[in-house]
Amino acid sequence: PPIAYEFQEELVIRPLHSGDIYASFQFRTVWETDFTRGISHYRLFPKSLGQVISKFSVRELHISFTQGYWRTMQWGQPYLPSPPGAELWVWFQDTVTDVDATWKELTNVLSGIFCASLNFIDSTNTVQPSASFKPLGIANGTDHRFLRYATLPREIVCTENLTPWKKLLPCGSKAGLAVLLKSEKLFHSSFHSQAVHIRPVCQDEPCKTASLELRQTLNVVFDLHASGQGKREWSLFKMFSRTLTEACPLASSSKIYIDVTDNPQDQFELSPATHLLSQAVVLGDRRTFSVYDLTQQVTFGTVRSLNVLIRWKSTEGDMLRPLLHAERYVAGYGLQTGEIHTLMYNNHPFRSFPVLLLDSVPWYLRLYVHTLTVTSKGKDNKPSYIHYQPSKDRMRPHLLEMLVQLPPHSVTEVTVQFERALLKWTEYTPDPNHGFYVGSSVVSALVPSTVAMNTNITKEQPLFSTFFPTKEESSYFIRVYTEPLLVNLPTPDFSMPYNVICLTCTVVAVGYGSLYNLLTRSFQVEEPNPGLAKRIANVIRKMRGVPPL
């Protein structure tokens, strides 16, 4: 059968209330193939990933590298959420017999492909969520034994992760939107996140045959004060220090969307102006976008280069009220116990909705699950579903999943106390006084939508609105990550181990030993030994038969 490929690229730019600007790249390669059989030709699909998928029988793979924390209160919801650090979750085919071994091998291979420390994923930070991470593509089974989820909150993302990511693109960074991805600007931002998502999708409406979809996404937020010098004026050149001259020749579609919904009174102007407008339903809201189609030569104008400029006429910014947001912190002081507080805000004025909370806590924080409380508006809020898997020391982390109903316009607080474990001295990191990380908790929710969501998957839509599948019109799916935690554990003074060891040994040996000796021994006065002369005299006296001296 003829193998069909499709490659699309897309950039969405959304001006944010805070004056910052959000740019989201998506590159999508769809490959109509039965990828379970042996494959030798990959064409547009990156071979390195294709081989990994067929070798390890991966059904879905989602990996993200994020530097920074998405500020929901300032920026609203992102198109693609991701937690700080690295996140990896994989659904394996149900033909895989030893999932754990395959997972271990897969993480090591991915570690090489993306130049990241994914090889630090092991059984102590891997969990199998029962409900929070359902397959995003077509799936005929959701047995969570074939799911593995892990985060590395400490992972630092930098250029060495960007380069291999760019190499997976059909045009590399030579042409198309990827020209803009220059690391000196991308890492001069408030937030940077890059991800790879592989999943099986339907080819057509009846969904008889599946095709493999590879989405590479990159999200970046530029700061008004640091990158923008405090001036509310953004252009492609100011953001990326490049302009666009052509689309990727292999791309079937290549577009730039600018979100102009918040511009009813012409608070900002776009240049060059475009008459192409598009509407899309995204994150429960109908948004209007100005579109630049890069496959059309006319877009580049006479100067043969496109530098979209957004200039504000008036400046005003206020705090957003996103419908759902979450935060987390550690309460208490001292190095013995503590309490994890997770706050979930439902800002919807009259609708309550359920959320799934997933917490994965390392074993060295010993959770006291009997202290778990969930309160909303001062009242106990009993979760309708709780899945808890206790930790095993040095083996696996705690996993806590809960289905909680958030009442309208409320804050729901989940608290659980913990005790800090004393590690063995080789288990401390090289910088133990920095603290130990606890990964973000994940809040997955079906939020009531203000407009009807689009459930037709085959209709032509911008890429950014089609990542999470929508099953019903009245609500949409979002995922919110809380901040990771940094927890100090009781730490010995490593700066002078030699002194410590010497001193301890001396005190124990000398002090304790001899004191013990003194306390337990019974003392008796011994007759002094007679001198030599006396002994000889006694011998003589004995021979003479007189009593000795």
Stretch that binds other proteins, among 172-180, 449-457, 458-466, 521-529 (CB under 8 A): 521-529
| Nearest approach, Cβ of residue 383 and other proteins (Å) | 21
* Burial class of 131 by CB neighbour count within 10 A (0 to 12, 13 to 18, 19+): middle
Q: How far apart are CA 531 and CA 549, in angstroms?
A: 12
| Nearest approach, Cβ of residue 528 and other proteins (Å) | 11
Alpha helices in 211-368 (DSSP H): 236-240
Is residue 434 a contact residue for other proteins (CB under 8 A)?
yes
Q: Which of 15, 76, 81, 85 binds other proteins (CB under 8 A)?
A: 85
Q: Can you point out the beta strands (E) in 16-143?
A: 21-32, 58-67, 85-92, 126-127
Paired strand residues for 58: 92
With contact defined as beta carbons under 8 Å apart, do 149 and 226 qualify? no
Is residue 117 a contact residue for other proteins (CB under 8 A)?
no
Is residue 73 a contact residue for other proteins (CB under 8 A)?
yes
With contact defined as beta carbons under 8 Å apart, do 394 and 122 qualify? no
Is residue 339 a contact residue for other proteins (CB under 8 A)?
yes
| Nearest approach, Cβ of residue 239 and other proteins (Å) | 14
Least Cα distance to 21 among 323, 349, 355, 310 occurs for 310
Residues 127, 130, 132, CA angle at the centre, nearest 5°? 90
Closer Cβ to other proteins, 112 or 230, answer by number? 230
| Nearest approach, Cβ of residue 263 and other proteins (Å) | 22
With contact defined as beta carbons under 8 Å apart, do 423 and 364 qualify? yes
Q: How far apart are CA 333 and CA 349, in angstroms?
A: 36
Is residue 65 a contact residue for other proteins (CB under 8 A)?
no
| Nearest approach, Cβ of residue 148 and other proteins (Å) | 23
Is residue 508 a contact residue for other proteins (CB under 8 A)?
no
| Nearest approach, Cβ of residue 486 and other proteins (Å) | 4
Q: Which of 225, 304, 313, 379 binds other proteins (CB under 8 A)?
A: 225
Is residue 336 a contact residue for other proteins (CB under 8 A)?
no
Q: How far apart are CA 327 and CA 414, in angstroms?
A: 11
Say if strands 379-380 and 385-389 run parallel, antiparallel, or are unpaired: unpaired
Q: How far apart are CA 444 and CA 464, in angstroms?
A: 18
| Nearest approach, Cβ of residue 155 and other proteins (Å) | 10
Is residue 521 a contact residue for other proteins (CB under 8 A)?
yes
Compose the 172-201 pattern: x for residues touching other proteins by CB under 8 A, - for all others.
---------------xxxxxx---------
| Nearest approach, Cβ of residue 324 and other proteins (Å) | 16
Q: How far apart are CA 223 and CA 339, in angstroms?
A: 34
542: which DSSP letter? H
Give the containing element (helix H, strand E) for 514: helix 513-520
Q: Which of 172, 230, 390, 492 binds other proteins (CB under 8 A)?
A: 230
Residue type, position 308, single letter: V
Q: How far apart are CA 132 and CA 415, in angstroms?
A: 20
Is residue 285 a contact residue for other proteins (CB under 8 A)?
no
Tokens describing residue 508 = 């124990």
| Nearest approach, Cβ of residue 246 and other proteins (Å) | 31
Integer angstrom CA distances of residue 541 from 240, 271, 318, 532, 547? 116, 131, 117, 14, 7
Is residue 229 a contact residue for other proteins (CB under 8 A)?
yes
Number of chain residues interacting with other proteins (CB under 8 A):
53
Is residue 273 a contact residue for other proteins (CB under 8 A)?
no
With contact defined as beta carbons under 8 Å apart, do 232 and 315 qualify? yes
Is residue 249 a contact residue for other proteins (CB under 8 A)?
no
Give the containing element (helix H, strand E) for 374: strand 365-376
Closer Cβ to other proteins, 407 or 432, answer by number? 432
Within residues 305-334, the interface with other proteins by CB under 8 A covers 327, 329-334
| Nearest approach, Cβ of residue 21 and other proteins (Å) | 14
Alpha helices in 134-261 (DSSP H): 159-167, 183-186, 236-240
Q: Which of 362, 383, 408, 432 binds other proteins (CB under 8 A)?
A: 432
Is residue 341 a contact residue for other proteins (CB under 8 A)?
yes
228: which DSSP letter? S
Q: Which of 6, 105, 223, 293 binds other proteins (CB under 8 A)?
A: 223
Paired strand residues for 5: 31
Q: Which of 6, 54, 68, 252 binds other proteins (CB under 8 A)?
A: 68
| Nearest approach, Cβ of residue 132 and other proteins (Å) | 20
Q: How far apart are CA 88 and CA 359, in angstroms?
A: 15
Within residues 481-500, the interface with other proteins by CB under 8 A covers 483-488, 493, 495
Q: Which of 224, 280, 453, 480 binds other proteins (CB under 8 A)?
A: 224
Is residue 350 a contact residue for other proteins (CB under 8 A)?
no
Q: How far apart are CA 443 and CA 71, in angstroms?
A: 15
Q: Which residues bind other proteins (CB under 8 A)?
A: 67-69, 71, 73-74, 84-85, 153, 187-192, 223-226, 229-230, 327, 329-335, 339, 341, 431-435, 437, 483-488, 493, 495, 510, 514-515, 517-518, 521, 523, 525
